[in-house]
Amino acid sequence: MELAFVIEKFVLVTVIFLITLGIAAYSTLAERKIAGYIQGRIGPHRAGPGGLLQPLADGGKMFFKEEIIPSESNHFLFIAGPSLALLTASIGSAVIPWGKVLTIGGRAIELQVADINVGLLYIFGVVSLGVYGVMIGGWASNNKYSLMGAIRAASQNISYEIAMGLSIIALLMITGTLSLKGIAAQQEGFWADGWFTWNVFKQPLSFLIFIVCAFAECNRTPFDLPESENELVAGYHTEYSGFKLGAYLFSEYINMFVSSAVMSTLYFGGYNFPFMNDLGLSDNVIALLGIVFLFGKIFFFIFFFMWIRWTIPRFRYDQLMNLGWKVLIPLAIANIVITGIWMTVKDLI
Amino acid sequence: MESLSNRKKVLEQKPMSFGERIYLPSILTGLAITFKHIFKKRETIFYPEQERPMSENWRGLHSLKRDEQGRERCTACGLCALACPAEAITMTAAERKKGEENLYREEKYAAVYEINMLRCIFCGLCEEACPKEAIYLDGPFLEADYVRKDFIFGKDKLVEAPLKS
Ligand code: SF4
Ligand code: SF4
């Protein structure tokens, strides 16, 4: 491994990590602003111009709050829970291709931390690890409400993971690769051979199931039962205070960012944008523009997450389970079958 | 039967149609509605800097008035306490001494006049009962406090500031 490669990856990792943190922090502000706008209010506006320093103020408040660790809890696991949640939330971004290859001084720089050929499996692995943060947090608190909340959250996450995994199979059947870079590259441009290249046009049902499951995995409304403090005593983070609670809430925003990035990459062409090859721009400019477009898509999805949150109420728990097991999973399987038949027929003709 | 207001709605209990059961159309309608709200007028009033205009008959905190010469109007007749449905007002009357004519308008005055703001329901009956036009509910909001005893407002908080000559 040459030194330049190590430096390049190191810089990339740092930049992506900082961007992730920044976006997660400002999503908290955006959420409150959007909530305000949708409800005919202003939202936070006192800290800094237009409330821009609000995330810093919130962070400061979290840091200086008293942290209570219940005396009967398992102290090590109590601290491990939120740390694990933060960790698993932030490592998911490693396999996302953030743009095309940048060429600087004759060196081709991949805008992706790790191009592993099982990128999608990696994402699913990381997502399922995220359950441990919740589970351990709820268990270590030594509080029955927390334990029950954790079980509720974990069973929700696990059930929706199945539907999510099944929905992705139909997509894999048409792309034929598990590498996110490969999937992004296949969706080059916007229109080719008389058909849209983006996967959302080829697999709309798969996208629909995927986005519903992504909402459930990120514990966002209408699937935010793990957080319903007013009707279900919050659940797994009842005993958490100060920055540990902050870590849990913050990891939710990181999750939202990463899953927006995954959705943009899998279904909305990632860094591709319409007419990218017809503009006669140099490769580097296209790569940079691609990054801009990818972030545009990500911001749209983050907005969409929030938009949904302030539009529809949360499910009851049995409705949530019914939707997951009796609707989404059969739909996903049906989608696989339909895709299979369609591909066979297309091959025969 | 003919309904009186013509606004009667018959409760529908038909099973939901397929379109309704997949929810997506209604979710999209909901999204459209909330999206429209982003561009609507904001109702926020920036409280400490901006205050909401109160209605004409707004009833706020009580104040005990003085007359044109700066004397307290209240004559401790007790009608306000009698009128008060919440029994929030208590007072002790005292006789005006020689040399206090510039302080109190009548021979009798309230040495102690207390309103328990935790009991008061701001009905304004004290204002109506007063024969001397001594009490008005023209003050601001009742402010928050930490201990109950601070909600018992004595003359120090109720009586208007003395006239400046
Ligand atoms: S406003 Fe009504 S309740 Fe309050 S002191 Fe006057 S009479 Fe009593
Ligand atoms: S405020 Fe009016 S009604 Fe009450 S004791 Fe004084 S004069 Fe009488």
The owner of tokens 């499910």 is A315
| Segments in B39-161 forming alpha helices (H) | 79-83, 125-129, 155-158
For the Cβ of B61 lying below 6 angstroms from any atom of ligand 2, the answer is no
Decide if pLDDT at A228 tops 80: no
Work out the average pLDDT over B7-35.
83
Which of B62, B135, B138, B153 has most ligand 2 atoms within 8 Å of its beta carbon, as the pocket-test mutant? B135
Cβ–Cβ under 8 Å, residues A217 and A255: yes
Domains identified in chain B, total number: 1
Chain B touched by A192 (CB under 8 Å)? no
pLDDT of residue B79: 92
Average model confidence (pLDDT) across chain B: 86
**B84 CB neighbour count, 10 Å cutoff:** 20
Q: How far is the CA of B47 from the centre of ligand 1 (A)?
A: 27
The owner of tokens 């017809």 is A278
pLDDT of residue B144: 86
Average model confidence (pLDDT) across chain A: 85
Per residue in B35-94, pLDDT tens? 898 888 888 888 888 888 888 888 889 989 888 888 888 898 989 999 999 999 999 999
Q: Which range has the worst mean pLDDT, A90-104, A287-301, B72-86?
A: A90-104
Work out the average pLDDT over A58-80.
85
Stated pTM of the model: 0.79
Decide if pLDDT at A334 tops 90: yes
Task: Give a yes or no: residue B28 inside a domain.
Answer: no
Exposure of A340 in the CB half-sphere (CA atoms within 13 A): 7
Task: Give a yes or no: residue B86 inside a domain.
Answer: yes
Decide if pLDDT at A275 tops 80: no
**Residue A195 or residue A209, greater confidence:** A209
Distance CA(B122)–CA(B102), nearest Å, equals: 31
Distance CA(A269)–CA(A265), nearest Å, equals: 5
The region that residue B118 occupies, defined by phi over 0 for left and psi between -120 and 50 for alpha, beta otherwise, is: alpha
Decide if pLDDT at B165 tops 70: no
Residue of A221, A311, A323 to mutate, interface with B, max B Cβ within 10 Å: A311
Question: What letter represents residue B85's amino acid?
Answer: P
Backbone angles phi, psi at B157, to 5 degrees: -95, -20
**A179 CB neighbour count, 10 Å cutoff:** 19
Closest CB from B38, B41, B44 relative to A38:
B38
The torsion defined by the Cα of B88, B89, B92 and B94, in degrees rounded to 10, comes to: 170
Residue from A52, A245, A47 nearest A146 by CA: A245
| Segments in chain A forming alpha helices (H) | 3-38, 54-64, 75-91, 119-140, 144-175, 180-186, 199-202, 204-217, 229-232, 242-267, 283-309, 317-322, 329-348
The ligand 1 atom at the shortest distance from the C-alpha of residue B137 is 1
Decide if pLDDT at B12 tops 80: no
Task: Give a yes or no: residue B154 inside a domain.
Answer: yes
Backbone angles phi, psi at B74, to 5 degrees: -65, 135
pLDDT of residue A127: 83
Work out the average pLDDT over A308-322.
86
Q: How far is the CA of B98 from the centre of ligand 2 (A)?
A: 22
* CATH code for the domain in which residue B82 is found: 3.30.70.3270
Task: Give a yes or no: residue B92 inside a domain.
Answer: yes
Work out the average pLDDT over A163-172.
89
pLDDT of residue A1: 61
Decide if pLDDT at A161 tops 80: yes
Task: Give a yes or no: residue B110 inside a domain.
Answer: yes
Chain B touched by A37 (CB under 8 Å)? yes
**Residue B116 or residue A119, greater confidence:** B116
pLDDT of residue A299: 92
Q: What pLDDT band is residue A115 in, cutting at 50, 70 and 90?
A: confident
CA-proximal residue: ligand 2, atom 3 (nearest): B130
Distance CA(B65)–CA(B63), nearest Å, equals: 6
Residue B71 lies in domain: 61-158
